Amino acid sequence: MKFKIGDKVNFLNESGGGTIVKIIDSKIVHVETADGFELPVLSSELIIDQRTLESESTDNLFSFKPPVKQEVAKNQIEEEESNISEINPWGNVREEKGIYLAFEPHEQQWLLTGDIDVYLINNTSHDILYSLFFEVDESLEGIDFSSVPPDSKILLDTISRDELENWSKGYIQILFHNDLPDKIYYPLHSSIDLKVNRFFKEGSYRSNSLLQNKALIINIINESLLETVSGSDSEKKFGSKAKASVAEAVKEKPLIEKHRTGMGVAIVDLHIAELVDNISGMSSSDMLLYQKDYFKKTLDSAITAEYTKVTYIHGVGNGVLKNEIMKELENYDNTKNQMASISKFGVGALDIKIEYSE
């Protein structure tokens, strides 16, 4: 059952209840009890307080009823607001600042079955206005448009597996807004081109800090790549040809391709000198952070591109980087690792094999 902020509810499995004050996602809401405590509760463990409904029904007998159109518009606004929630109220977001499209299965134990929640995630410091279009039979259909506050996500839809094909091709356009901006960004136009078979591979669904559960995460664009309006552009007269940022992040050439050595295999050298042209000004912790980030990005890229093995050269050293890699691998359920060929790489390399469900 869908709830909205302000609903009076009772707990299903215990006495008591309260008022819904926050919507986290389609499964979790925050309820404020009579004594002022705010509790996270599963939606499935709540029920609307019938006494409230009866009271509202009685009040309506003696109250003025506004026109139907106004009531419908109000309900639409309330439903839209209830679909917006914080990105991660449970901890820090590790993903890079940017805009993401996420597909979160309802059945986390059986990732390849059941319905899927589709989110647009605004992991930036800007308000965004978006328009979503599907490409259907060589024609375009406008599907949705709305706004999302900074550091928030919106539930676009809950879909069945049969509806995944609809999300394989389309476009998304985004405007960025701040009340007191230091700079102005061009609007974003990004194409959506997803392979449906990705949704039927368990390795596509990853633990992440944008959502509470495993999900297929699509990076539309990083905030650092947004193009700003220059002074000369901002002074152009109305009617002049407008410019827009065009993002191909949804269908970009996989990062792992630059390390490809054969069909489905790659070798990535994580020595900092191989990753950065100039290390001046970088501390040891900066270098390690960069290496870890590059490891994660290339491995994610390899999984998306359906590679079967990636060899990472981490070097001998004191083993700090290797230890960090091993910790990160705990987040990947579909990988196995072993020491790479000593005759070829010495003792400073690791083979990571990627497995896919049939």
The residues near 350 (Cβ < 8 Å, ≥ 6 apart) are 311, 312, 314, 322, 325, 337, 338, 339, 340
Q: Does residue 22 sit in the same domain as residue 123?
A: no
* 67 and 91, same domain (yes or no): no
Residue pair 97/123 in contact (Cβ under 8 Å)? The answer is yes
Residue after which a domain boundary falls, among 82, 117, 145: 82
Say whether both 141 and 52 belong to one domain: no
Residue 21 · residue 3 · CB < 8 Å: no
In percent, the amount of the chain with pLDDT more than 90 equals 30
Which range among 141-150, 162-171, 238-247, 332-341 shows the weakest confidence by mean pLDDT?
238-247
User: Given 62, 82, 102, which residue is the final one in a domain?
Assistant: 82
- Per-residue confidence (pLDDT) for residue 102, from 0 to 100: 94
Please state the domain count of the chain: 3
Percent of the chain residues topping a pLDDT of 70 = 82
Last residue of one domain, picked from the residues 216, 234, 252: 252
Look at residue 3 and tell me if it is in a domain. Answer: no
**Residue with more model confidence, 242 or 156:** 156
Domain identity same for 109 and 248 = yes
Question: What are the DSSP calls for 232-287, one per residue?
Answer: HHHTPPTTSPP--EEE-GGGPPPGGGGGEEETTEEEEE--HHHH-S--TT--HHHH
The CA dihedral of 319, 324, 328, 330, to the nearest 10 degrees, is: 60
Same domain, 214 and 123: yes
- 162 with 302, same domain? no
Residues 56 and 153 in one domain: no
Same-domain pairing of 204 and 103: yes
Choice between 297 and 26, residue whose per-residue pLDDT is larger: 297
Residues 47, 3: contact at Cβ < 8 Å?
no
pLDDT-derived band at 199, boundaries 50, 70, 90 = confident
- How would you classify the pairing of strands 46-48 and 38-42? unpaired
pLDDT of residue 7: 86
The residue-averaged pLDDT of 5-34 equals 82
Report pLDDT for 245.
56
Mean pLDDT taken over the chain? 82
Q: Which residues contact 27 (CB under 8 A, 6 or more apart)?
A: 42, 43, 44
Quick one: which of 41, 45, 36, 35 has its CA closest to 22?
41
Residues 203 and 271 in one domain: no
pLDDT in tens, 107-134: 988 888 899 999 999 999 999 999 999 9
Amino acid 154: pLDDT: 94
Helix (H), strand (E) at residue 94:
none
pLDDT tens for each residue of 42-89 = 887 888 877 665 555 444 544 445 554 455 445 554 555 567 888 877
Query: Alpha helix locations (H) across the chain?
Result: 50-61, 68-82, 231-234, 272-275, 284-304, 320-329, 342-345
Q: How far is CA 314 from the centre of its chain?
A: 29
To the question of pTM greater than 0.85 for the whole model, the response is no
Q: What pLDDT score does 155 carry?
A: 94
Measured in whole angstroms, the distance separating CA 219 from the mean position of its chain's CA atoms is 7
* Domain contains 233: yes
